[in-house]
Amino acid sequence: MTTGRATYRSALVLGAVSLVSPGLWTVTQSAFAQAPAAPAALAEAAADAAAKAAFEAFPEADRKAIQDALVWTGDYASIADGTFGRGTLAAIKAYQARTKAKPDGILAPAALTALKAEGAKVRQAAGFAPADDPKSGVRIGVPLKLLDQRSPGRSGTIFKAKDNSASLETFTEDPTKTTLAEMFQRLITDHARHVTYKVLRPDFFVVTLEASGKRFFSRVASGPAGIRGFTFIYPAQPGFDRYSVAIADSFAPFPDASKTGTATSEIAVTTPVKPGGPALAPRPIAQLSAIAVGPRQVLTAALPDGCTAPLVAGGPAKVLRSDTALGLALLERSGPEAQTPAISLRASEIKPSEAVVVLSATADGEANISVATGEAPTASRILAPLQAPSGSPVFDRSGALAGLVTFQANIKRLPGGVVPAANYPIIGAEAIKRFLASLNQPLKAAEPGSTETSAGTVAAKYGRALTAVSCGS
């Protein structure tokens, strides 16, 4: 997937900021420098590496089949994209523990066969099958034994359970009469339902809601053929989430345009090339966020081993320095100089219960905002749903840069691009100050006692300085 130049859209800010409830995301005490790993931690890391190697040794079709089977067994709640992450490892271990096998994350041939059989059994019991909806134009998987009633909808088809406990509606909208942003705003301002997640991108949005024991999952996409989407309503009960995951994974809003496949995560999945076929672009090994600190210079988290060809906003970049001890990197992007907002550096660390704003760049280079609440006096850890957490800048409410999220190797994703909240350690202002000073790239110190402003104002100002960094091998 190619990353574009980071842009900021006010609709995205308004949506993401309103997601936050006071005190929902917290900062807990940590240390900048991590302590030496204990033997048990080293052994666990080695075991996880072995599990990753074993998973990635499978052909791509088998990797996706494993994840799909784990969705149906109820152990995995993410897109079956064939990539290995913490969610996949946890799902395999959960399945192994449930089946009384050694929970080491490695599937032996017999276990793989049993997993696929169990997943297929549950899938078949649900009657899950792809359906082409000529009225809306979408292709979508439907659990036909659960949603066994079909009727015409306003602009698509309604599939629902006989007892009205669950329903799936496809639809299409005229882009000359409404926009994605307008539809997004209407959903998130429905005060009768509690918003549990929302994200808006230029070409799609996802909103999940909950009310009166029911969950609502909506995904809407735009393209040359118009605006198309679906809403799945189901009981907030164990066992039903697997349907939501499977439906979201199967959704093709423009099936004619997606016959060659569409990437569903930040790390694009490559497929084997037939002999004599065109060479594929190298698969990115990492995705990071970065903040511009100069006309061409961007600050991000220390690059991982093997990142020999970083891209900034889709273009080649030069590594000026990557300091693993401090956890920071400074890159110089190609192309003309850009005007970016002047960034001031906070003079102290985050205080207890202090609100901060975290900006994260999505895989397509869009700016995505999250808000966190601090509770640590010095180095800290934030809990937030970040699309590309590594290198995400953390600002205080006066707009001063207070830290960056450290590099994260594996990020869990849920259906339709949803990313759950997770804990991330940050590198504080003092470390950033030392790092940039060593490169003669100091940031202006923030004025003491600066006036606090809204998260939206902070994001609107600095979202334009946010960009995406991808690491190729």
> Whole-angstrom Cα distance, residue 401 to residue 23?
21
Domains and CATH numbers, the chain: 10-33+284-472 (2.40.10.10), 133-254 (3.40.1000.10)
- And the tokens for 224? 């040359």
pLDDT of amino acid 425: 87
Q: How many CB atoms are located within 10 Å of the residue 353 CB? A: 12
Which residues, 6 or more positions from 3, have their beta carbon under 8 angstroms from its beta carbon?
287, 311, 313, 314, 363, 364, 365, 468, 470
pLDDT of amino acid 300: 94
Instruction: Find out whether 134 and 144 touch, Cβ atoms under 8 Å.
Output: no
pLDDT of amino acid 139: 94
- And the tokens for 65? 């089949």
> Whole-angstrom Cα distance, residue 151 to residue 286?
45
Q: What is the pLDDT of residues 263-320, one digit of tens each?
A: 332 222 223 333 343 333 344 456 788 899 988 899 999 988 778 788 887 788 999 9
Instruction: Find out whether 220 and 183 touch, Cβ atoms under 8 Å.
Output: yes
pLDDT of amino acid 197: 81
pLDDT of amino acid 163: 94
pLDDT of amino acid 203: 85
pLDDT of amino acid 329: 93
Q: What is the pLDDT of residues 359-384, one digit of tens each?
A: 887 644 455 555 554 444 344 677 66
Reduce the DSSP state of residue 421 to 3 states and report it.
coil
Q: How many helices (H) and strands (E) does the chain have?
A: 9, 24
Q: Which residues of the chain have pLDDT under 50?
A: 1-37, 258-284, 363-365, 373-379, 415-416, 473
Written as one string, the DSSP assignment of 213-237 is: TEEEEEEEEEETTEEEEEEEEEESS
